[in-house]
Structures are given as C-alpha cells and as structure tokens.
C-alpha cells in the first residue's frame, strides 16, 4: 500500500511492539551479564512510541476503503497494546510471581497483535 499514513503508522506500531517486548525482557532479566544496550535503548523509548501510536490511533481516517481498513486495524492494535501495558504496570510493584503473570499476559497480547499484522497494509 502506497499511502504514507499507513507506512508511518506501521513503523510506529512496529517500534511500539519492539519496545514493549524489550520492556518485559529487561524487567525479567536475570543473570550476571549486563542487559544489552540495544535492548535497554528500545525499552527506554517505550513511552515515546506509545504516545506516538496513541496519537495516530486517536485520529479519524478518510480515504480509500483499504487505507481506512489498515488504519482502523492499527488503531485497534494500539488500543489493545495500550490497555495491556496499563494492566502490566498495575503489577509492577507486585511480588515476583504476580509480576511474572502480568508479563506473560502482556507478551500474550503482543503476540496477538503481531498475528494481526497482515491487516496493516
């Protein structure tokens, strides 16, 4: 699809997915070795990516039906990820077992959103 809005939103959504995944991996990191810098950097950009994706998801889209369908699918994916991250954050101060369950739930939502990527144009 050649619409620049679709490409821009897809890029933001992909970055958000990467940052969410990195955030969970950093939170669950154990062992003596240091967290890899690219992983830390990706996790550190989570709020920027989440904000960008939410701004794009809040817009109303006009255009050809395929473009609107792609943008709507990415908006829905963003809302799912935002809600899943909010739920994960509610458990961030919890005991390890509860935090692990929250991380598993977030990863499940990430995988679910990734499975819809064929609708993103």
Task: Give the predicted TM-score (pTM) of the model.
Answer: 0.93
pLDDT confidence tier of residue 33, bands split at 50, 70 and 90 = very high
CATH 1.20.1440 holds for 4-119: yes
**How would you label 83-110 residue by residue, b for 16+ Cβ within 10 Å and e otherwise?**
ebbeebeebeeeeeeebeebbeebbebb
pLDDT confidence tier of residue 117, bands split at 50, 70 and 90 = very high
* Backbone angles phi and psi of 52, in degrees to 5: -65, -45
Most confident by average pLDDT, 1-15, 44-58, 87-101: 44-58
Q: Mean per-residue pLDDT for 112-118? A: 96
Domains of the chain, residue spans: 4-119
């Amino acid at each position: 699809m050649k619409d620049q809005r679709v490409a821009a939103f897809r890029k933001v959504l992909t970055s958000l997915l990467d940052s969410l995944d990195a955030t969970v991996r950093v939170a669950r990191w154990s062992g003596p070795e240091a967290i890899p810098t690219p992983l830390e950097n990706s996790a550190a950009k989570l709020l920027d990516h989440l904000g960008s994706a939410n701004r794009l998801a809040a817009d109303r889209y006009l255009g050809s039906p395929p473009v609107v369908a792609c943008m709507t699918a990415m908006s829905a994916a963003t809302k799912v990820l935002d809600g899943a991250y909010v739920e994960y954050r509610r458990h961030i101060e919890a005991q390890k077992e509860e935090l692990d369950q929250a991380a598993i739930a977030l990863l499940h939502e990430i995988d679910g959103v990734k499975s819809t990527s064929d609708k993103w144009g």
